[in-house]
């Protein structure tokens, strides 16, 4: 997995509550057995009209949003289905950071497995960022995972917190399975003492 | 201080606790389906790893499966995904209830049915509705594909300990009110993210009165308000349900298991981070009007006005939902016409759901212009229903009687609703495009879906005269 230490990039703002993973990657694209190539289907039903032409009003299709790598989202982003394809699509499209006042749990965990950093910020801070961004006061931000700080190009400085374990894994681009296998002896010891109901008969 | 049910199950599964708060949690049962597993098996193969505990891993195919003729998969990409699961199960020695198996069905229907789902277990699946299995007092939650790979390789998962919430459901189901109305009503009242970060225990006077299937319907939709998992303490109803099932313990192992399960109840002095109550006595049949499961209310209500919303962001969300749904504020819910009825899904496709719907349908006909279908949750449910003659009731009324699968719950298979058309659906999500691009989904109970099929619009099921329809 690609480590994420510091990321500088253009920001796109999406003012929608409860964006679910069915919107991020609609179900018709879940049939593939690969992990890559989902970016072209990101937000498909919002991004394209029924005839396949781009929907000019959709946030990601504006001239200003082109090349954005940081998504400023709203409450409960990534709710619904557990499909990791949602994160694969965001990452493949080019997003490395998603900032929101809250995330759905499964989506939040999936981000860390794919080198995407989800950052939780307070609702009022999100509001300030969105309003000033809408007024064109800023375009880009730098996200420093080591220092746990976001800085916008108009001078906002926001301190955030990421779980120490997840932060370590992302900073170093580490794979969870490798870490877990270091505890093989503990797993074996646990398995030796399992109770009757823990088995499949 | 005492422990909650969740804490007892959690503590019994911690393999290793790290000082940074992460716990390595042992997973007793891993359910696998075709959509979220291929990349995980590919990862194993790439790293030359094996499945650590094939006996604790169980696969089926459900999301992609056509429900007219399951083996006739015409979508080449879906076919490839189904075949990939078959190959992966063969290569890694994982049990598979395949398309030719008498046990195939929706993963969350067959787990309990086969006795794989047991109280006290930790259960995961690459599917958010894994919360269903919490009805047995298991700790069950959905995971992403990277985590699927991790569990395949290690039989463990790294987890932060979630917070705990108790929801006391008090009262009794009144005639015509179902478990589906309880969970929809709860979410309509509290919103779609009040459970985020929590494992919920459903308690209160209602739970002991419920069958296992009703309990599963409630736990199934825990994810729809963001909860990591929903649990209910096992009791005599749970034990009676599990006993004698195919993969449940027998003999001495059964006795040992039952004695463990009796301790799976929150202690009287256990503390929850949050405690809420919900009264079900005054609940009315629920219908959603919007594009998330919290956008709903009584069948006797009206479509809300965005002007009444508390914040501009909420007003915008309601406007966007009404535009998608093609609804005007103030319209009576009971006057909304429907063109499709779907009775199925991991929420409501078990035998009791089908009996309930059949009791409403019996001797009546599907309204003109309405396409109605019943998709049993599993081959076993289908067989049981046919033994009881339910299929004849549905067919006589004009319903289609299909083969098991996820079907129209998410439209990953040929069962899709055309743009602009409207469904009364017993599934769990009314998101934009969920049942097909532009399709408009209204979530309801099986009883309400059956009544809507007959009437051609939503109707309070309590006004339908029907034999034996009490819950």
Answer whether residue B356 shows pLDDT above 80: yes
pLDDT the model gives residue B470: 40
Answer whether residue B466 shows pLDDT above 70: no
Chain B positions in Cβ-Cβ contact with residue A118 (cut-off 8 Å): none
Q: Dig out the tokens for A193 from the structure.
A: 């003492």
pLDDT the model gives residue B341: 98
- Asked if B249 and A197 come within 8 Å (Cβ–Cβ), the reply is yes
Average pLDDT for residues B44-56, to the nearest whole number? 96
- Asked if A45 and B249 come within 8 Å (Cβ–Cβ), the reply is no
Verify that B397 and B257 share a domain, yes or no: no
Closest CB to A84: pick one of B18, B145, B226: B145
Sign, Cα dihedral of B183, B189, B193, B198? negative
Contact B11, B120 (CB under 8 A): no
Answer whether residue B469 shows pLDDT above 60: no
Interfacial B residues in 193-232 facing A (CB < 8 Å) = 193, 196-197, 223, 226, 228
Chain A positions in Cβ-Cβ contact with residue B150 (cut-off 8 Å): 176-177, 180
> In chain A, how many domains are there?
1
Question: Residue B382: inside a domain, yes or no?
Answer: yes
- Asked if B146 and A110 come within 8 Å (Cβ–Cβ), the reply is yes
Verify that B266 and B290 share a domain, yes or no: no
What are the tens digits of pLDDT across the range B90-112?
999 999 999 999 999 999 999 99
HEC sequence for A153-183: CCCCEEECCCCHHHHHHHHHCCCHHHHHHCC
Question: Residue B237: inside a domain, yes or no?
Answer: yes
Question: Residue A21: inside a domain, yes or no?
Answer: yes
CB neighbours of residue B324 within 10 Å: 17
Tell me how far apart the terminal alpha carbons of chain A are, to the nearest angstrom. 38
pLDDT the model gives residue B464: 79
B250: domain CATH number?
3.30.499.10
Q: How far apart are CA B90 and CA B50, in angstroms?
A: 12
Taking CA–CA distances from B152, the nearest residue in chain A reads: A177
Verify that B439 and B347 share a domain, yes or no: yes
Question: Residue B280: inside a domain, yes or no?
Answer: no
Average pLDDT, chain B: 96
A110: domain CATH number?
3.20.19.10
pLDDT the model gives residue A23: 97
Is A27 an interface residue toward B (CB < 8 Å)?
yes
Question: Residue A125: inside a domain, yes or no?
Answer: yes
| Residue-range definition of the domain harbouring residue B379 | 286-463
Interfacial A residues in 117-146 facing B (CB < 8 Å) = none
The closest of A142, A194, A189, A146 to A167, measured between CA atoms, is: A146
pLDDT the model gives residue B439: 97
- The sheet that has B163-170: what strands, in order across it? B229-231, B198-203, B163-170, B274-279
What are the tens digits of pLDDT across the range B126-169?
999 999 999 999 999 999 999 999 999 999 999 999 999 999 99
Question: Residue B469: inside a domain, yes or no?
Answer: no
Verify that B251 and B375 share a domain, yes or no: no
What are the tens digits of pLDDT across the range B219-264?
999 999 999 999 999 999 999 999 999 999 999 999 999 999 999 9
- Asked if B75 and A163 come within 8 Å (Cβ–Cβ), the reply is no
> In chain B, how many domains are there?
2
Residue bearing tokens 């696998």 = B32
Question: Residue A144: inside a domain, yes or no?
Answer: yes
pLDDT the model gives residue B1: 86
Question: Residue A1: inside a domain, yes or no?
Answer: no
| Residue-range definition of the domain harbouring residue A85 | 6-193
Question: Residue B470: inside a domain, yes or no?
Answer: no
Side-chain-side CA neighbours of residue B401 (13 Å): 19
Question: Residue A15: inside a domain, yes or no?
Answer: yes
Question: Residue B210: inside a domain, yes or no?
Answer: yes
Is A190 an interface residue toward B (CB < 8 Å)?
yes
Percent of chain B with pLDDT over 70: 99
Contact B143, B131 (CB under 8 A): no
Verify that B264 and B386 share a domain, yes or no: no
Name the phi and psi angles at B153, rounded to 5: -80, -35
Task: Provide the strand spans (E) within chain A.
Answer: 6-13, 68-72, 97-100, 117-120, 140-144, 149-152, 157-159
Which of B248, B275, B302 represents a domain boundary (last residue)?
Answer: B275
Which of B275, B308, B334 represents a domain boundary (last residue)?
Answer: B275
Chain B positions in Cβ-Cβ contact with residue A87 (cut-off 8 Å): 144
pLDDT the model gives residue A178: 87
Average pLDDT for residues B7-31, to the nearest whole number? 96
Answer whether residue B468 shows pLDDT above 80: no
B210 Cα to chain A: minimum distance (Å): 23
Answer whether residue B180 shows pLDDT above 70: yes
- Asked if A82 and B55 come within 8 Å (Cβ–Cβ), the reply is no
Closest CB to B433: pick one of A45, A106, A168: A45
What are the tens digits of pLDDT across the range B392-408?
999 999 999 999 999 99
Answer yes or no: is the ipTM higher than 0.90.
yes
Gyration radius of chain B over CA positions: 21
Q: How far apart are CA A155 and CA B373, in angstroms?
A: 58
Q: How far apart are CA A4 and CA B339, in angstroms?
A: 49
Closest CB to B29: pick one of A33, A35, A200: A200
Residue bearing tokens 């480590």 = A3
Is A55 an interface residue toward B (CB < 8 Å)?
no
Contact B13, B6 (CB under 8 A): no
pLDDT the model gives residue B313: 86
Chain B positions in Cβ-Cβ contact with residue A76 (cut-off 8 Å): 192-193, 196, 226
Helix (H) or strand (E) holding B257: helix B251-261
pLDDT the model gives residue B319: 97
Verify that B292 and B256 share a domain, yes or no: no
Q: How far apart are CA B294 and CA B304, in angstroms?
A: 13
DSSP designation for B303: P
Strands B340-343 and B371-374, sheet pairing: parallel
Is B431 an interface residue toward A (CB < 8 Å)?
yes
What are the tens digits of pLDDT across the range B283-310?
999 999 999 999 999 999 999 999 999 9
Chain B positions in Cβ-Cβ contact with residue A28 (cut-off 8 Å): 411-412
Question: Residue A201: inside a domain, yes or no?
Answer: no
- Asked if A197 and B411 come within 8 Å (Cβ–Cβ), the reply is no
Average pLDDT for residues B38-61, to the nearest whole number? 96
pLDDT, tens digit only, all 201 positions of chain A: 889 999 999 999 999 999 999 999 999 999 999 999 999 999 999 999 999 999 999 999 999 999 999 999 999 999 999 999 999 999 999 999 999 999 999 999 999 999 999 999 999 999 999 999 999 999 999 999 999 999 999 999 999 999 999 999 999 998 899 889 999 999 999 999 999 999 999
């Amino acid at each position: 997995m690609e480590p994420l230490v510091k990321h500088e990039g253009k920001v796109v703002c999406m003012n929608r509550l409860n964006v679910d993973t069915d919107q991020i990657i609609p179900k018709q694209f879940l049939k593939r057995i690969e992990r890559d190539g989902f970016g072209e289907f990101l937000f498909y039903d919002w991004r394209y009209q029924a005839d396949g032409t781009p929907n000019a009003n959709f946030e990601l299709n504006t001239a200003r949003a082109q090349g954005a790598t940081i998504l400023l989202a709203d409450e409960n982003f990534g709710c619904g289905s557990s499909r990791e394809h949602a994160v694969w699509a965001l990452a493949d499209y080019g997003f490395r950071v998603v900032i929101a006042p809250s995330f759905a749990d499964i989506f939040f965990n999936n981000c860390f497995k794919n080198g995407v950093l989800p950052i939780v910020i307070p609702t009022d801070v999100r509001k300030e960022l969105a309003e000033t961004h809408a007024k064109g006061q800023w375009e880009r931000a730098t996200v420093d995972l080591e220092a746990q700080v976001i800085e916008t190009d108009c001078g906002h400085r926001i301190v955030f917190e990421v779980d120490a374990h997840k932060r370590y894994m992302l900073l170093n681009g580490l794979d969870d399975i490798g870490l877990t296998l270091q505890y093989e002896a503990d797993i074996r010891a646990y398995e030796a003492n399992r109770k009757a109901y823990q088995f499949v008969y | 201080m005492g422990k909650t049910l969740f804490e007892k199950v959690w503590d019994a599964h911690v393999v290793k606790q790290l000082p940074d708060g992460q716990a390595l949690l042992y997973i007793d049962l891993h359910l696998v389906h075709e959509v979220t597993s291929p990349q995980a098996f590919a990862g194993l193969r790439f790293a030359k790893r094996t499945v650590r505990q094939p006996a604790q891993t169980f696969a089926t195919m459900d999301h992609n499966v056509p429900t007219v003729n399951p083996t006739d998969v015409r979508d080449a990409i879906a076919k490839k995904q189904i075949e990939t699961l078959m190959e992966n199960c063969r290569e890694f020695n994982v049990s598979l209830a395949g398309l030719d198996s008498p046990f195939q069905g929706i993963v969350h229907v067959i787990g309990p049915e086969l006795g794989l789902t047991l109280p006290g277990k930790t259960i995961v699946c690459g599917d958010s509705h894994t919360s269903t299995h919490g009805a047995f007092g298991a700790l069950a939650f959905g995971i992403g594909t990277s985590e699927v790979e991790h569990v395949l390789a290690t039989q463990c998962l790294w987890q932060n300990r979630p917070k705990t919430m108790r929801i006391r459901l008090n009262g009794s189901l009144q005639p015509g009110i179902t478990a589906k109305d309880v969970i929809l009503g709860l979410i309509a009242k509290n919103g779609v993210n009040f459970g985020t970060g929590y494992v919920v225990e459903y308690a209160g006077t209602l739970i002991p009165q419920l069958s296992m299937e009703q309990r599963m319907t409630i736990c199934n939709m825990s994810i729809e308000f963001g909860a990591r998992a929903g649990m209910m303490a096992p009791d005599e109803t749970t034990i009676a349900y599990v006993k004698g099932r195919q993969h449940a313990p027998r003999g001495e192992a059964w006795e040992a298991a039952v004695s463990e399960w009796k301790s799976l109840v929150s202690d009287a002095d256990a503390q929850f981070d949050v405690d809420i109550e919900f009264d079900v006595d005054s609940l009315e049949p629920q219908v959603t009007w919007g594009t998330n499961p919290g956008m709903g209310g009584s069948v006797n209500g009206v479509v809300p006005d965005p002007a009444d919303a508390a914040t501009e962001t909420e007003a915008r969300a309601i406007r966007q939902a009404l535009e998608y749904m093609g609804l005007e504020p103030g319209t009576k819910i009971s006057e909304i016409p429907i063109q499709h009825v779907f009775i199925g899904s991991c929420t409501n496709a078990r035998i009791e759901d089908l009996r309930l719907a059949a009791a409403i349908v019996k001797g009546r006909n599907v309204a003109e212009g309405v396409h109605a279908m019943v998709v049993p949750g599993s081959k076993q449910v289908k067989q049981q229903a046919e033994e009881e003659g339910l299929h004849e009731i549905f067919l006589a009324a004009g319903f289609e009687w299909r083969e098991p699968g996820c079907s129209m719950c998410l439209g990953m298979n040929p069962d899709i609703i055309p743009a602009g058309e409207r469904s009364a659906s017993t599934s769990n999500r009314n998101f934009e495009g969920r049942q097909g691009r532009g399709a408009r989904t209204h979530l309801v109970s099986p009883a309400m879906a059956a009544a809507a099929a007959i009437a051609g619009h939503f109707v309070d099921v309590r006004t339908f005269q029907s034999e034996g329809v009490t819950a």
